[in-house]
Amino acid sequence: MVGHGQCLSPQPGDWMKGKLVGSGSFGTVHLAMNKATGALFVVKSSQSELGLKFLENEANILENLSSPYTVQCIGKDVTNTASTGEKRLDLFMEYMCGGSLADVAEKFGGVLDERVIRLYTREILQGLKYLHKNGIVHCDLKCKNVLLGSSGNVKLADFGCAIDLKHSNERSTHFCKSMGGTPLWMAPEVLRNEGLDFAADIWSLGCTVIEMATGRPPWGDVVSNPMAAVLKIACSDGVPQFPVHFSKQGLDFLAKCLERNPKRRWTSEELLNHPFVTGELSVDGRNSVKEDVCSPASVLDIRNYEDGSDEDDSEDESHDGGEFPSRFPFLVMQSGRRNSALPMQQQESDLGSSGTWVTVRSG
């Protein structure tokens, strides 16, 4: 696997930690500054045993990646407290000032215009193509784990659940499969524990496109009942509801991603040639794919849509932890009432949280 520079620790004292910009079940995310250059970056930190495992996995994955479509690791620092024996890991990452796609959608009306979705989907596919070529399954693709740069470029992030199929051992693979991923975005075969392959990321991509287009998690019609949602995804013959306002190209693209048989699911390379992302037949009859975008304002042309669903959007997410199998410990991490009319990042149910990192946002 080609990688330019491993995640090496900066010299002590060369950086300073700024304000908290995100948090997760396993640690915190702070803005940071290189005191020698003034450059901004972010630092992910964890001291819990489980958080360290996820962060160490992310560091191991990122140190071998070098792609304009994946977030860059710029260093790491491991410290041990002699008095307590506690281990602390700080992972230094490039700063993506636009925040996650969930943040972007929230700031621009809750949903994204199909032209923008096409652009973002194309770059996500480029990232998946690179990962899959190098034997890596992301395992937790969703809007919160795709970050936006100031020029409109997007990068895949949050590799705590990722698996390197070429180099992982049985123990590490079992750990990531049992603890990682977000059920509403997970492929049926993964929920059935039948195996994990690149096709799982393609299913999650289809769910992410639905999320961008509707401002809601996939499977929104069953999100109020977590166990019913898991069973429906894993064992039924259904797929998430497609956006009713989507073009024919968009609907066909989703059908290629959300094929329940993973062997018939299109690959990232095949999907990169699909008209939905090539721009051959755009919504307005023009080629909508732009190779260079100089400002977010040129692509974030937001239009509000209704997703056409008529389900009751209010749900009670208080659960007893014993109701859910240990295969999904993240199902019971949060509780409380939410209204799905809220922006997508505010409305994720227990099923919509993998316990991984909250993406950094610009303000």
- Active site (catalytic) residues: 140
Contacts of 52 (CB under 8 A, 6+ apart): 46, 87, 89
**Dihedrals φ, ψ of 108, to 5°?**
-120, 45
**Residue 148 bridge partners (DSSP):** 154
The tokens of 145 are what?
A: 């784990």
Q: CA 260 to CA 237: how far, in whole Å?
A: 7
DSSP E strand boundaries for 218-336:
314-316
CB 335 within 8 A of CB 317: yes
The tokens of 255 are what?
A: 């059908």
Q: How many residues are there in the chain?
A: 363
Instruction: Name which of 148, 153, 217, 147 is nearest 186 in CA terms.
Output: 217
CA 42 to chain centre: 17
CB 85 within 8 A of CB 348: no
First to last CA, the chain: 36
CB 311 within 8 A of CB 300: no
Sheet strand arrangement including 15-24: 15-24, 27-34, 40-46, 87-94, 73-80
